[in-house]
Homo-oligomer: A and B are copies of this chain.
Amino acid sequence: MKNRKLLMIPGPIEFTPEVMRAMGMPTASHVAPNFVEAFGQALERLREVFLCPSGQPFVVAGSGSLAMDMAAANLVEPGDKALVVNTGYFGDRFAAILTRYGAEVTQVRAPAIGDAPPLDEVEAALAEAQFKVMTITHVDTSTAVAADVQGLSALGQRYGTLVVVDGVCSVAGEEMRQEEWGIDLALTASQKAIGVPPGLALVVAGPRAMDVYHQRKTPVLNYYADWTQWLPIMKAYEERRPSYYGTPPVNLIWALNVSLGQILKEGMEARFARHGWLSDALKAGITALGLTQVPVGADRTATTLTAPYYPEGVDATMLKHVGEAGVILAGGLHPEIKAKYFRIGHMGAVSPSDILTTIGAVEHGLAQAGYDFEFGAGLAAAQRVLD
Tell whether, in the assembled complex, residue B64 and residue A246 are in contact, meaning their CB atoms are under 8 Å apart: yes
Q: Which chain A residues (68-90) contact chain B, with CB distance < 8 Å?
A: 69, 72-73
Tell whether, in the assembled complex, residue B224 and residue A30 are in contact, meaning their CB atoms are under 8 Å apart: no
Tell whether, in the assembled complex, residue A66 and residue B224 are in contact, meaning their CB atoms are under 8 Å apart: yes
Stretch at the interface among A39-47, A149-157, A248-256, A276-284: A248-256
Tell whether, in the assembled complex, residue A7 and residue B29 are in contact, meaning their CB atoms are under 8 Å apart: yes
What distance in Å separates the Cβ of A216 from its nearest Cβ neighbour in chain B?
A: 14
- How many copies of this kind of chain does the complex include? 2
> Which residue from B28, B101, B224 sits with its C-beta under 8 Å from A7?
B28
Q: Given A30-B198, A197-B27, are A223 and B61 also a contact pair (CB < 8 Å)? A: no
Stretch at the interface among A15-23, A131-139, A292-300, A358-366: A15-23
CA distance A28 to B333 in the complex (A): 18
Q: How large is the interface on A (under 10, 10 to 19, 20 to 34, 35 or more residues)?
A: 35 or more
Tell whether, in the assembled complex, residue A249 and residue B197 are in contact, meaning their CB atoms are under 8 Å apart: yes
Tell whether, in the assembled complex, residue B20 and residue A21 are in contact, meaning their CB atoms are under 8 Å apart: no
Q: Given A27-B197, A199-B199, A250-B12, are A223 and B72 also a contact pair (CB < 8 Å)? A: yes
A11: interface (CB < 8 Å): yes
Instruction: List residues of chain B with CB within 8 A of the CB of A63.
Output: 60-61, 224, 246-249
**Selected A-B contacts with CB under 8 Å, 10 pairs:** A27-B197, A30-B198, A61-B66, A63-B246, A64-B247, A73-B222, A96-B223, A97-B223, A197-B249, A222-B224
Task: Give the B-binding residues of A (Cβ under 8 A).
Answer: 4, 7, 9, 11-12, 14-15, 20-21, 23-32, 60-66, 69, 72-73, 96-97, 100-101, 189, 191, 197-199, 219, 221-225, 229, 244-252, 328, 330, 333
